[in-house]
Amino acid sequence: DVKVTQSSRYLVKRTGEKVFLECVQDMDHENMFWYRQDPGLGLRLIYFSYDVKMKEKGDIPEGYSVSREKKERFSLILESASTNQTSMYLCASSTIGYNYGYTFGSGTRLTVV
């Protein structure tokens, strides 16, 4: 069964901490994405990557950075966590082509206190 695995289901961090969210996929997908999901705002794209060491800003990249050193792993970094970054974070991967679809991880519920 193909999978996208996020390292933590729940995470509590303090304001100002550097936070790493890890995502690993086992499907050899080219594309990987990080979204955040907030009530009433739907899913918003933070960053995505088409290939190893490549990254593109999404709609809300401020306060975040990413790293993709290996094809299967895409990390989201909160340089200095703030309370407004409390959210559900979803990682997804996809292959390319007209009939592609996303496979999502189970999500990480991050609370910044």
Partner 1 sequence: KNQVEQSPQSLIILEGKNCTLQCNYTVSPFSNLRWYKQDTGRGPVSLTIMTFSENTKSNGRYTATLDADTKQSSLHITASQLSDSASYICVVSPDPDGKSTFGDGTTLTVKP
At a CB cut-off of 8 Å and minimum separation 6, what does 35 contact? 43, 44, 45, 46, 58, 89, 90, 91, 92
Compare residues 76 and 90 and give the one whose CB is closer to partner 1. 90
- To the nearest whole angstrom, how small is the minimum distance from the Cβ of residue 83 to partner 1? 21
Q: Given the rule CB under 8 A, which residues bind partner 1?
A: 4, 31, 33, 40-43, 45, 48, 50, 88, 90, 92, 94, 96-107, 109
Compare residues 4 and 112 and give the one whose CB is closer to partner 1. 4
Compare residues 35 and 64 and give the one whose CB is closer to partner 1. 35
CA-based R_g, the chain, Å: 13
Contact between 103 and 5 under an 8 Å Cβ cutoff? The reply is no
